[in-house]
Amino acid sequence: MPTKKEKILRACRAGGTSLPIESLINYIRTGEVSLQELKTAGLNETKVSALELSLEKEEDNLWQNAIQQGTYEAFRKYIADSQLGSHTVEALGKISQFDDIKWIEAQNVLSEESLTEYLESFPNGTHVDECRDLLADLPWLATKRKNTIEAYTLYMQQNPGRHDAEARAAIHDIKDDNDWANASILGSTSAFRGYINRYPNGKHAVEAQTRLNSGAAGEFLLDALRGDPNAYGAAYIKQQVENHVITKHDLEDIFGSDKTRAIIDFETADDLTNENGPEELQPNSTEVYFWGTPGSGKTCALGTIISTAKRNGILEVKPSSGRHYLNQLSNLFVSDGICKLPGSTPLFNIPEMIIHLSEKGNQRKQHRLTLVDLAGELFNSVYFSENNLPLDTTQQQQVVDKAMSYLKDRRNNKIHFFIVEYGAHNKTWDGLNMTNYLDTMVQFLKTNKVFSKSTVGVYVLVTKCDKMNCRVEDRPRVANEYVKQELHSFWNTLEETCRLARVKDLKTLSFSIGDVFAQNLCVYDGVDTNKVIEKLITKTPTIGGMFDWLMQ
């Protein structure tokens, strides 16, 4: 007796005219016959086309439903129900993704429950074998998750012969890491050498050898810092710590914990910005000029004067072209503790900064001053000009012309501070040292008769006096001797220039902003700064007051 399938196919050989489309579709759905078998049997083309159209529509509906549901079960259902299989590859990819996600979740929890749940969800999943292996060895997994010497030792005692080699290797790695951590904390040559002796092929052997090799460079750096805390800048020292050339503990032995923390936390200071001054300085003010060769500490000196006046509550900032620069300087040393020294200033700008200083205890007695910061580039420009050398840029001549226009204007009285760094007389910039610059500049001022009867004070401010190997009370004497001995040509010409201009007040002043270390950091001390502020107050009249100060 023929089967149902044979009956269906026999009917197709006659063209299949007696078979309704709905019945044929149902036969295909139930799996009794396939579309290809109907075609081979001779089903007429009209019915084949109708079947294909119907099945394609059904296929599209099946896939859209699977996409909308977006679940593992939906894609499995699509594969089971699809007659054409147009999206089978995509469906299998989606199922594989669900499989992987579920496996990752099971591994993250790594418990009997999570692994069993994976097997139940994906009985034919790609990770089934691995999952069953893990289920059979959960005690070892728990031990690996703890990853301690005690856990591995206990596992080997309770499960002799299983994973012994792996457990011993894990214990060795833990000891390796612990010993390296201890060696790194100590940071000594003997500590690194001891680590290498114990672990010649250890995980950190290469780094340990590198640290040993850098030991000589580290000792050289530390010896230099022991001799001079300003031998290197904070950024460089910090980098050597990060590169393991020296350690934080090495620095603490030299600087102490607070200074070391400031070095480790150091970030390079932002450059200061200022505007160029006007064509003429404002009248009815005492002009205070700050002269300084490159790197002399002029900006620091000026900054601490303004900051200290602000700290003392005697500073009032007035409208001027250099007000922004003035505000930046006023924030440099406003707090106790360790301060960061300022960044560089523009080379060619000469800012005009107008302030009122009040006498302590009497806010009504104010003194009006115009602070003028003369960039170190001015010294370079004058040197080139006076030695008939070509200037690099037109800005160099412009900065000289701007300064001279201010200095030659006799309407306001003037005070001059020449900032020189103690011990830096042989320090060079572009092949020239501080004495070259100072000698040329003071001769230039003499030739151009910059000092006049309006000049009420000329002071050589010897900065970084904290570097002097003497008692604090002896610093004024040592500063005076330093200028006269090491800067004698500059001093002699300055003396003569002041004598010719009848300047009565020419002095050398010792100056320190505090304990400077690592070149860029300072433990602020305002003692010397307050003396300079008092000098400025005594040499300037009160606003609207009598001019008996001229006789001082």
358 with 481, same domain? Answer: yes
For 251-297, the pLDDT digits (tens) are: 999 999 999 999 999 988 787 877 888 899 999 999 999 998 877 77
The answer to whether residue 121 scores a pLDDT higher than 90 is no
Structure tokens at 525: 């001390």
Domain-located, residue 249: yes
Give the pLDDT of residue 71.
66
Percent of the chain with pLDDT over 70: 85
Give the pLDDT of residue 359.
87
Query: In whole angstroms, what is the distance from residue 22 CA to residue 74 CA?
Result: 26
Q: How far is CA 491 from CA 386, 441, 546, in A?
A: 19, 12, 33
Domain-located, residue 234: yes
425 with 328, same domain? Answer: yes
For 364-410, the pLDDT digits (tens) are: 789 999 999 987 778 888 888 888 877 666 777 888 888 999 999 99
Give the pLDDT of residue 355.
94
Coil, helix or strand at residue 275: coil
264 with 294, same domain? Answer: no
Query: In whole angstroms, what is the distance from residue 348 CA to residue 378 CA?
Result: 8
Q: How many CB atoms lie within 10 A of CB 79?
A: 15
Report residue 222's pLDDT band, with 50, 70 and 90 as the boundaries: confident
Q: How far is CA 204 from CA 187, 243, 420, in A?
A: 14, 15, 50
User: Which range has highest mean pLDDT (9-23, 85-99, 419-433, 535-549)?
Assistant: 419-433
Domain-located, residue 502: yes
344 with 251, same domain? Answer: no
Coil, helix or strand at residue 446: helix
In 3D, which of 107, 108, 154 has the Cα closest to residue 130?
A: 107
What is the span of the domain harbouring residue 249?
214-268
Report residue 550's pLDDT band, with 50, 70 and 90 as the boundaries: very low
Query: In whole angstroms, what is the distance from residue 192 CA to residue 207 CA?
Result: 9
In 3D, which of 479, 469, 467 has the Cα closest to residue 519?
A: 467
232 with 357, same domain? Answer: no
Averaged pLDDT, 339-353: 82
Q: Are 441 and 291 in contact, with CB atoms under 8 Å apart?
A: yes
Which residue in this structure is represented by tokens 């990060």?
242
Lowest mean per-residue pLDDT among 82-91, 104-113, 273-282, 295-304: 82-91
Which residue in this structure is represented by tokens 């289920």?
135
Report residue 96's pLDDT band, with 50, 70 and 90 as the boundaries: low
Last residue in a domain, options 31, 53, 86:
86
Domain-located, residue 358: yes
Query: In whole angstroms, what is the distance from residue 465 CA to residue 513 CA?
Result: 9
Structure tokens at 191: 């500590």
Report residue 134's pLDDT band, with 50, 70 and 90 as the boundaries: confident
369 with 439, same domain? Answer: yes
Percent of the chain with pLDDT over 90: 32
Last residue in a domain, options 51, 86, 121:
86
For 458-501, the pLDDT digits (tens) are: 999 999 888 888 998 999 999 999 999 999 999 999 999 999 99
Coil, helix or strand at residue 514: strand
Residue 533 belongs to domain with CATH number: 3.40.50.300
User: Which range has highest mean pLDDT (31-40, 90-99, 166-175, 361-370)?
Assistant: 166-175
Give the pLDDT of residue 120.
74
Which residue in this structure is represented by tokens 């994906």?
122
The answer to whether residue 151 scores a pLDDT higher than 70 is yes
Domain-located, residue 506: yes
3-state secondary structure 305-350: HHHHHHHCCCEEECCCCCHHHHHHHHCCCCCCCEEECCCCCCCCCC
Higher-pLDDT residue of 16 and 534 is 534
Give the pLDDT of residue 546.
47
In 3D, which of 5, 23, 16 has the Cα closest to residue 48?
A: 16
259 with 301, same domain? Answer: no
Averaged pLDDT, 101-109: 72
344 with 475, same domain? Answer: yes
Domain-located, residue 391: yes
Buried b (16+ CB within 10 A) or exposed e, 329-349: bbebbeeeebbbbbeebbbbb
Q: Are 24 and 47 in contact, with CB atoms under 8 Å apart?
A: yes
Domain-located, residue 99: no
The mean of the pLDDT values for the chain is: 83
Q: Are 529 and 513 in contact, with CB atoms under 8 Å apart?
A: yes
For 3-23, the pLDDT digits (tens) are: 777 777 776 765 555 667 777
234 with 330, same domain? Answer: no
Last residue in a domain, options 31, 56, 86:
86
Q: Tell me the torsion sign for CA atoms 541, 286, 320, 273.
A: negative
Give the pLDDT of residue 95.
63
Give the pLDDT of residue 547.
42
Query: In whole angstroms, what is the distance from residue 518 CA to residue 508 CA?
Result: 27
Which helix (H) or strand (E) segment is 252 a member of?
helix 248-255
Please name the amino acid found at residue 298. K
For 410-455, the pLDDT digits (tens) are: 999 999 999 999 988 887 777 788 899 999 999 999 999 999 999 9
Query: In whole angstroms, what is the distance from residue 111 CA to residue 174 CA?
Result: 25
Give the pLDDT of residue 485.
94
375 with 263, same domain? Answer: no
452 with 505, same domain? Answer: yes
Total domains, the chain: 3
Lowest mean per-residue pLDDT among 35-44, 130-139, 169-178, 348-357: 35-44
The pTM score is 0.61
Coil, helix or strand at residue 256: coil
Q: Tell me the torsion sign for CA atoms 498, 501, 502, 504.
A: negative
Domain-located, residue 97: no
The answer to whether residue 113 scores a pLDDT higher than 70 is yes
The answer to whether residue 344 scores a pLDDT higher than 50 is yes
438 with 377, same domain? Answer: yes
Query: In whole angstroms, what is the distance from residue 212 CA to residue 192 CA?
Result: 7
